[in-house]
Amino acid sequence: MKLLFALIALFSACFTSNTTLAQSLTQEKGFKYEGALELIIDVSQMKDTKGKFMLMIGGQLLYPTLKNNMLVVNTIMNEPRRAFLAFYPDETIAANPGKPLNHIAAAYSDNFTFLGTAGKIRILVKGTLINSEFVNLTRAQNDYRALLKLKDGLDRQLSIEQGTLQGEIRSATDKILKDSLMAIYIKHYQKCYQDSVLGFVKNHPNSPASLIELEEYSYMTSKDLKLLTLLYSSLTDRMKALPTGKRIYNVVNSEDFAIDSLIGKPAPNFSQTDTAGKTVSLSDFKGNVTLIEFWASWCGPCRESNPALVKTYQKFSGKGFKILGVSLDENKQHWLKAIKNDNLAWTHVSDLNFWKNSAAILYRVVGVPYNVLIDESGKVLATNVNDESLDKQLNRLLLK
């Protein structure tokens, strides 16, 4: 018991030295959140460039090629998003034959996280990616750097404290004591995260960095819904109007429903980009009987059920039946290839976030395939309907 009381004292207060790391910053006059991004990365000072580069930005996965010691990326952003640049040396690739780069862990020194925004971004790599610097540092980028530094400081501080605690947890033979120690640590971590990281969000209501962090928090199973709602409410209207702001609102607005209890009620709206990069919303389908089909190219049962779904779509598509396919893929090329190979002629969307797909989280999807049938007014008729049941429902609704 002495050990338990000592740990309670140790964890009773959260360190706060980094909570004021960054002052509240406003965006530059005329700053645009959407539009063309021109990213130029100078790797002339990089120690080793024999390998491949990978850039993950929002839902995009890009592989920029090196030319004249420069990596150049031109893409379109519909809002600021987290960007992750990684380098994989030839020997790392050779040690993982046939494995996609996004499934290989990048070394600590060979990755760099930053904020992808519309406009021009210039980065200079000094030795390794982790030591990259911005040639033209914007206020939005500076906010995001401050947030990352704050989170890194939190992780390092807790790692120091966790070392002793983990040893005690491992050596504890009494289950009650072990569970008590674990509960203390989890409670302490949550308090420190809320005080420091979410404190940053509260103090920066007009910062894209806050929006990105609040989205990550909204996906956590241990989130405090009241706190999430409060922080969302504190965001500026400009932040709430962005796609990520709308995704957070959907989580805030839907936390109190169980999907089965939605039957007879309006289906929660969501928006994601289609295969051409155009934003599509569920509300666009109002006036049609619509099936939201959650699936993925890597899902065997999904692919096996696609032929039957194709036949159903061909039978009823001319009579007011639509399908909105929501993919839980993370590789766009695999997603597009599956659509083509399976002859899926309906509308498809994805944020390429795998199981963190915002629509899947909104609809409590725990496995695929999974579907939700919606009537012309936008109300939920049924969930997880099989081929036979779907055919009967569509006959009743559309062949009156």
Higher-confidence residue: 164 or 193?
193
Residue 194 has pLDDT above 70, yes or no: yes
Looking at the chain, the whole-number percentage of residues with pLDDT higher than 90 is: 56
Q: How confident is the model at residue 156 (pLDDT cuts 50, 70, 90)?
A: confident
The three-state DSSP-derived secondary structure of the chain is CHHHHHHHHHCCCCCCCCCCCCCCCCCCCCCCCCEEEEEEEEEEEECCCCEEEEEEECCEEECCCEECCEEEEEEEECCCEEEEEEEEEHHHHHCCCCCCHHHCCCCHHHEEEEEECCEEEEEEEEEEEEEEEECCCCHHHHHHHHHHHHHHHHHHHHHHHHHHHHHHHHHCCCHHHHHHHHHHHHHHHHHHHHHHHHHHHHHCCCCHHHHHHHHHHHHCCCCCHHHHHHHHHHCCHHHHCCHHHHHHHHHHHHCCCCHHHHECCECCCCEEEECCCCEEEHHHHCCCEEEEEEECCCCHHHHHHHHHHHHHHHHHHHHCEEEEEEECCCCHHHHHHHHHHCCCCCEEEECCCHHHCHHHHHCCCCCCCEEEEECCCCEEEEECCCHHHHHHHHHHHHCC
CA angle 46, 50, 55 (to 5 degrees): 75
Out of 144-158, 177-191, 333-347, pick the least confident: 177-191
CB atoms within 10 A of CB 101: 19
Q: How confident is the model at residue 260 (pLDDT cuts 50, 70, 90)?
A: low
What does the pLDDT average to over 183-187? 72
Average pLDDT, the chain: 85
Out of 54-63, 311-320, 339-348, pick the least confident: 54-63
Higher-confidence residue: 60 or 358?
358
CB atoms within 10 A of CB 250: 20
Residue 273 has pLDDT above 80, yes or no: yes
How large is the greatest C-alpha to C-alpha distance in the chain, in angstroms?
Answer: 75
Q: How confident is the model at residue 203 (pLDDT cuts 50, 70, 90)?
A: very high
What is the residue whose two structure tokens read 């779509």?
313
**pLDDT confidence of residue 366:** 66
**pLDDT confidence of residue 171:** 76
**pLDDT confidence of residue 81:** 93
**pLDDT confidence of residue 316:** 95
Sort residue 304 into left (φ over 0), alpha (ψ -120 to 50) or beta.
alpha
Residue 178 has pLDDT above 70, yes or no: no
User: For residues 212 and 226, what is the distance between their CA atoms, to the nearest angstrom?
Assistant: 18
283 contacts 377 by C-beta, under 8 angstroms: no
283 contacts 246 by C-beta, under 8 angstroms: no
**pLDDT confidence of residue 261:** 64
**pLDDT confidence of residue 249:** 87
Looking at the chain, the whole-number percentage of residues with pLDDT higher than 70 is: 86
Domains in the chain: ranges and CATH: 35-137 (2.60.40.1110), 145-254 (no CATH), 259-398 (3.40.30.10)
pTM of the predicted structure, to 2 decimals: 0.60
- Report pLDDT digits (tens) over 50-97: 999 999 997 788 999 999 999 999 999 999 999 999 999 999 999 999
What is the residue whose two structure tokens read 């963190």?
356
What does the pLDDT average to over 142-153? 93
Q: Which of 6-10, 180-184, 300-304, 345-349 has the highest mean pLDDT?
A: 345-349
Out of 40-44, 105-109, 268-272, pick the least confident: 105-109
Residue 179 has pLDDT above 70, yes or no: no
- Report pLDDT digits (tens) over 369-380: 899 999 999 999
Count the residues in the chain.
400
User: For residues 196 and 268, what is the distance between their CA atoms, to the nearest angstrom?
Assistant: 32
What does the pLDDT average to over 138-142? 91
What does the pLDDT average to over 227-238? 91
